[in-house]
Amino acid sequence: MPQRWDCRYSSCEFMYLDVTDNDVRCYLDHSPKQADVFTFDEVLAGKADGMLGSLFGDKVLEELKAAVRGKGR
């Protein structure tokens, strides 16, 4: 199960989605320190669905939730 996904955000930028040990982070390749951060509980409750689903798609959103569940949350 992937712990990182990426998508083309614009013609010159990529957006990354990472599952860390403590949270989920979504950020542009040039600004990882300005990530949108979600707790595992927020992801599982669907609070990130709108943003992450529109950027990465439903399939990745399902994979993300499975990865979060795999972390024991």
Residue by residue, pLDDT tens for the chain (73 residues) are 569 999 999 999 999 999 999 999 999 999 999 999 999 999 999 999 999 999 999 999 999 999 999 987 5
**Dmax over Cα atoms in the chain, in whole Å?**
37
Identify the pLDDT of residue 59: 96
Identify the pLDDT of residue 53: 95
Query: Measuring CA to CA, how many Å separate 15 from each of 8, 21, 45, 69?
Result: 6, 20, 22, 23
